[in-house]
Structure 1
Amino acid sequence: MADIRTTSIEADCFYHIYNRGINGEHIFKSDRNYLFFLKKVSDFLNPVCDVYAYCLMPNHFHLLVKIKSDSELASLVKVLNLDKATETISTGLHSPQNIFSKQFAGVFNSYSQAFNRENKRHGSLIESPFKRKLITSDQYLINAIIYIHQNPEKHGVTDQFLKYNFSSYHSILSDSKTVLKRDEVIELFDNKENFILSHQKTIDFDAEF
């Protein structure tokens, strides 16, 4: 089995991304922290991947993302003036791995600096490198989404995951504006009713938390 810290990031693939605070320390202490992290995810990751699900917990987080296509990543290279737009992005600086990692580092760095200032702390906040698992089938994708949404209950943060505010569960069911791939998620489950029903079964992945 590939090392979950070094699994290659490839274009057009789904990944379960997760990580935690150094030594299991809390990385979110207030509603403002959670909302600021989500904003940074939107700012830095939306250009390079589509977000299908998320859950932010006091000491760790989960994201379910699909990396953009080679052509979309090539456009990003051009927008960011990383180098010549015509250069291949299959390897080196412009590989999906490095483009995504650079943007993800932007989330971590921006959030960590703000958190450290607010809490008068210094040093690293989140473990590195981030952990990721390649999603290899639609059923695995469905199970990963359910698992991510059930995480607050699994870890005893709430007695019912439905009550938890900082996951994508309610955003997927709502009609409010979102950057989540809501329609694509519902299509995976066929409809909203089956999405709700499917979340009533327990999914127990070994995610090392």
Structure 2
Amino acid sequence: MQPIQPLENEKYYHIYNRGINSDLLFKENSNYEYFLKLYDLHIEPMAETYAWCLMKNHFHFLIRIKDKEEIKTENVIQPSQSFSNLFNAYTKAFNKKYNRHGALFERPFKRKGIENENYFQNLIAYIHNNPVHHSICEHPLQYPWSSYISCISNKPTKLKRKEVMKLFGDIENFKYVHELKSNDVSIDTFF
């Protein structure tokens, strides 16, 4: 078994995981909404989010772990523990709602450090195009459970939209790159 990469402050990560045995994580809209509410509670205080996508049986997040001084909570929890708290809280609620028991997520959750800007940009497009790759829709704009719509919107968001747009140059190039990447599934072998 490979050693688990620790999550370090001030570093960028692709965080992803799926349901145990590829089981469903999200059965209805309220599941997605509750998971995002828990994400906001457990992850937002210690990480910045650049892209995300929730699929029926897996998810992807592109985050930066904040510097310790940026974390504005009294009890600073290790980043891996924050994710564990998120997954445990969601699993308890999911199990109660659907009268099931046991683990819901594969362990350990996957994490990959992001070291260069090109990969960072490609990963954003990959995450947003995940529903396209899985033939759920034809364009990421049609899928409600990703950060694509937040990226192109003017509505308030905790997503690091300005930083994402700066990486792509502008909104038109953001859209163009996503169109180019809509048929590209070769970013990585995630599962």
Give TM-score, length-normalised by structure 2: 0.92
Partner of 1:16: 14
Moved more, 54-63 or 175-184: 175-184
- Which string of whole-angstrom CA distances, capped at 9 and with x for unpartnered residues, describes residues 28-63 of structure 1? 000110011111111110111101100000000000
* SS of structure 2 residue aligned to 1:16: strand
Partner of 1:88: none
Moved more, 61-70 or 98-107: 98-107
| 2:33 aligned with 1:54 | no
* SS of structure 1 residue aligned to 2:159: coil
Q: Distance in 2 between matches of 1:189 and 1:57?
A: 24
Q: Distance in 1 between matches of 2:180 and 2:5?
A: 29
Give the residue type in structure 1 aligned to 2:130: N
Match of residue 68, structure 1, among 57, 66, 78: 66
Structure 2's unaligned 5+ residue stretches are none
Q: In the TM superposition, what are the counterparts of 1:176-187 in structure 2 within 5 Å?
A: 176-187=155-166
Structure number, greater radius of gyration = 1
Partner of 2:84: 105
| 2:175 aligned with 1:196 | yes
Q: Distance in 2 between matches of 1:188 and 1:14?
A: 14
* SS of structure 1 residue aligned to 2:92: helix
* SS of structure 1 residue aligned to 2:16: strand
* SS of structure 1 residue aligned to 2:122: helix
Q: Distance in 2 between matches of 1:159 and 1:172?
A: 18
What is the CA distance between 1:71 and its match in structure 2? 2.4
| Identity percentage of aligned residues | 43
Q: In the TM superposition, what are the counterparts of 1:1-209 in structure 2 within 5 Å?
A: 3=2, 6-73=4-71, 76=73, 79-80=74-75, 99-202=78-181, 203=184, 204-209=186-191
Q: RMSD of the TM alignment (CA)?
A: 1.5
Q: Distance in 2 between matches of 1:136 and 1:17?
A: 14
Q: Distance in 2 between matches of 1:16 and 1:207?
A: 13
Count residues in correspondence. 187
What is the CA distance between 1:206 and its match in structure 2? 2.5
Give the residue type in structure 1 aligned to 2:65: I
* SS of structure 2 residue aligned to 1:194: helix
What is the CA distance between 1:175 and its match in structure 2? 1.1
What is the CA distance between 1:179 and its match in structure 2? 1.1
Matched-pair contact (CA < 8 Å) for 2:6–2:80: no
- Which string of whole-angstrom CA distances, capped at 9 and with x for unpartnered residues, describes residues 81-112 of structure 1? x6xxxxxxxxxxxxxxx710111111101111
Structure 1's unaligned 5+ residue stretches are 83-97
